[in-house]
Amino acid sequence: MNYSKNNDPIIEFKNVAKQFKNTRGIKDISLSIVNPNNIVGLIGNNGVGKTTLLKTLFREYAIQNGSIFIKGEPLSNKHLKKMAFFPDQNNFPKHFNIIEFAKFSAELKGIKYKVYKDKLEQLIDFLKLGELRKSKFANLSTGQQKRALLLSVLITKPEIIALDEPTANLDVESRIEFHNILRILAKELNICIIITSHIIDEMENLINKVVLIKEGKVVYDNNYSLEKDGKLEKLYNNYIVLNKVQKKNGESKKEQADSYASALVNIFKKNEEEK
């Protein structure tokens, strides 16, 4: 399914806001995901708005301001049919057995059993779930649950997959296997991947675009490679811890320096006024 024939971004957030009574949420977020094979890392501390941003994309939260576009079109239910959300470990019905949940996920998207029957069996084999097909999620190990959730995502043949802390509590071997699957989905099948994680070291060899979020706002948004840009920890320290301001395209060094100077002057002016 191609949403449009032009070169609009796959996903575009324009000035999107969703805040809660405790003032947490997202504020005036604008970012674009241009390439279908992007693996985008959303990085930030707990409570800064990463999951809220994903939930606005899936219309679980109504936005209070701004717009979201998929391939140049305003986000609508037709786009949701080609998107899939991989939840964290606490947000799925554990009373389902894994095949029931995969079928449920497909039928929610209007996909008939005869269409996905063969692919279901192939995915069960690929994900090494054959002996677990009658098992309920509650009776599976963490690694098995993750593979079963991946089955329910892939059976819907999505063009966009968002994953919330997908490798939490996995052992090293399972994490490597999971990352390899994500790479195949992005590189070979042109599926756009958005992933949140607190484990920034493991993201370095996976993502090709990084978005840093602090207090509900995007503080850094750029393509990423470990070889070119260095460790994510350095970017995190610069833009999350030290509040460095990202230089925008076309902004001169003088303009950036002026911006720093203005910020510092404003701090002192404010302090003088309060005395």
Distance, in Å, from the CA atom of 212 to the CA atom of 239, rounded to the nearest integer, reads 8
Sheet hosting strand 11-19, strand order edge to edge:
25-33, 11-19, 65-70, 73-74
> Is the per-residue pLDDT at 262 higher than 70?
no
Write down the pLDDT at residue 39: 97
Q: What percent of the chain has a predicted confidence (pLDDT) above 70?
A: 86
Residue 42: pLDDT band (50, 70, 90) is very high
**152 within a domain of the structure (yes/no):** yes
**75 within a domain of the structure (yes/no):** yes
> Is the per-residue pLDDT at 179 higher than 80?
yes
Which among 104, 137, 157 is the end of a domain? 157
Strand stretches in 55-124, DSSP E: 65-70, 73-74, 83-86
Range of the domain at 176: 11-82+160-244
Average pLDDT over residues 30-42: 94
In a shared domain, residues 43 and 174: yes
* Beta bridge partner(s), residue 156: none
In a shared domain, residues 101 and 199: no
Average pLDDT over residues 246-259: 56
In a shared domain, residues 228 and 166: yes
* Beta bridge partner(s), residue 195: 41, 163
* CATH number of the domain enclosing 25: 3.40.50.300
**272 within a domain of the structure (yes/no):** no
In a shared domain, residues 142 and 168: no
- Tens digit of each residue's pLDDT (9 = 90 or more) over 80-112: 999 999 987 667 778 889 999 999 999 999 999
In a shared domain, residues 24 and 127: no
Residue 6: pLDDT band (50, 70, 90) is low
Distance, in Å, from the CA atom of 181 to the CA atom of 192, rounded to the nearest integer, reads 13
The number of distinct structural domains making up the chain is: 2
The model carries a pTM of 0.84
**Average pLDDT of the residues of the chain:** 87
**206 within a domain of the structure (yes/no):** yes
Which among 157, 175, 198 is the end of a domain? 157
**266 within a domain of the structure (yes/no):** no
Residue 46: pLDDT band (50, 70, 90) is confident
**168 within a domain of the structure (yes/no):** yes
In a shared domain, residues 72 and 182: yes
In a shared domain, residues 136 and 200: no
Write down the pLDDT at residue 248: 59
**3 within a domain of the structure (yes/no):** no
